[in-house]
A and B are shown apart, each in its own frame.
Chain A
Amino acid sequence: MATENLQGSNAWVLALDHRWFAAIGERELVHLVETPTLLEVPTCPYFCRSVLAWNDRLLPAIDLAAWLQQQPRVDHHWKLAGIVAYQPAPGVMPDYGALLLADIPERLPVTDAQACPLPEQPPGWRELALSCFRRGEDAIPILDLPYLFTGGLLTR
C-alpha cells in the first residue's frame, strides 16, 4: 500500500496538471514515457479514453486532472505518462497502468510528521486518495492506485 511506503520513506510527487499534484509510493512508479503515443479507445469514459502500448501490454491512460474537474481535456498533447504498478487485490499479481502527467515527477522523502488532512477542493480528492501529506504549503494527496485502475472512478 502506498501509505506504508510513505512512512519515513520516499514518494514521487506527480504533476496531474499545472494546479494539482498527487503522490504515489516510490516503488509504484516504474517507468516514464516522454510524449506518449496514445491510442484512442471509442466509447470509453472521458478521463480514460486512451491506451498506451508498453511491453506487449495496452495500459489504460488515466487523466486524473480531467476527472477532478469533471470534464474532458481539450488539449491532448501530453508531455509525459507515468507507468505505475499496483496490486489489484491481495495475493494477486501486480498490474500496470498509466497516469498522464504535466511535468517530471519529483522524488522526495516523506515522514509521518507531514501527515495532514485532504484538501476540501476539488471534492474528488476524497475518492482518489488514501491519505495526504504536507509539502511546504501544499497538501499532496496519496493516490489509491488499485481503486483508480480497477474501475473505482466509474461510479461517480
Chain B
Amino acid sequence: MNRPARTTLAELRNIRVFARLSLDGHSWLLPQTEVCALESTLDIDREVQAPHSIGAIALGGEWWPVYCLSGELQRLLQMPGSRRACILLDNGADRFSLVCDQVETLAEAPHLLALPACMGALDSPIQALALLDSKLGCVTTTEHLAALLAAFEEGTGGH
C-alpha cells in the first residue's frame, strides 16, 4: 500500500473537534468526524477474524474488523485488560475499529504543532503534536492508521 500523503498543519488546524484515544498512557487524537461509533469490547465477536485483527464488531448490518494496537502503534495479538472501549472509525475509504483504554471528545480544539523533522516526520503516523494540560497528544488520522494496518498485513511492519 502506498504511504498516504502527510496531512498539513493547515488542514489539521481546520478540524474543530478531536477524539482522544488513550492507549497505554499515550494520547492519540483523531478528527471526531472520523469516529462513527463507540462500542464496548464485550461486543467483539472473536470468531469473526480479518487478518491481524482480534475479532470483529457488528454495526449497521456489517462486520467491522477490530484491531489492537499498543501506545506505540505496534500490533498486539492479545488485548490488554485495560482496553475497555471499541472505537469505530470511518473516513469514507477506510473502515475499522480499534480497542482503546479510554475515548473522550476534547472540549476545545488543541493548538497543533508540527512533528520535528528529526523525529521521523516523513514516515511517522503522527501528523502533528498537541499539548494537552502539560501532557502530549499525537494527532493522526484514520487514513494513516489504515496504512499502518495495511503495512502489518503486507509484513512491512508499519512505521
B118:A62 contact, CB within 8 angstroms: yes
Tell whether A153 is near chain B: CB-to-CB under 8 Å.
Answer: yes
Known interface pairs A51-B136, A53-B131, A58-B131; A43-B159 also in contact (CB < 8 Å)? yes
Q: How far is the CB of A49 from chain B (nearest CB, A)?
A: 8
Most chain B C-beta atoms within 10 Å of own C-beta, residue among A53, A153, A154:
A154
Please give me the residue from chain A that is nearest to B140 by CB atom.
Answer: A43
Residues of B within 8 A of A60 (CB): 116, 118-119
Assembled-state Cα–Cα distance A57/B124 (Å): 20
Q: How far is the CA of A149 from the CA of B121 in the complex (A)?
A: 11
- Whether B118 contacts A42 by the Cβ 8 Å rule is no
| Contact present for B113 and A45 (CB under 8 Å) | no
The A/B interface has a contact count, at CB < 8 Å, of: 68
In the complex, which range does the number of interface residues on chain A fall in? 20 to 34
B80 adjacent to chain A (CB < 8 Å): no
Q: Which residues in window 42-68 of A have CB below 8 A to B?
A: 42-45, 48, 51, 53, 57-60, 62
A-B contact pairs, 30 of them (CB 8 A): A39-B135, A39-B136, A40-B26, A41-B126, A42-B26, A42-B138, A43-B72, A43-B138, A44-B120, A44-B124, A45-B119, A48-B116, A48-B119, A51-B116, A51-B119, A51-B136, A53-B131, A53-B134, A58-B136, A60-B118, A60-B119, A97-B116, A97-B118, A149-B118, A151-B117, A151-B118, A151-B121, A151-B122, A153-B118, A154-B118
Q: Which residues of B contact A (CB under 8 A)?
A: 26, 71-73, 113, 115-122, 124-126, 129, 131, 134-136, 138, 159
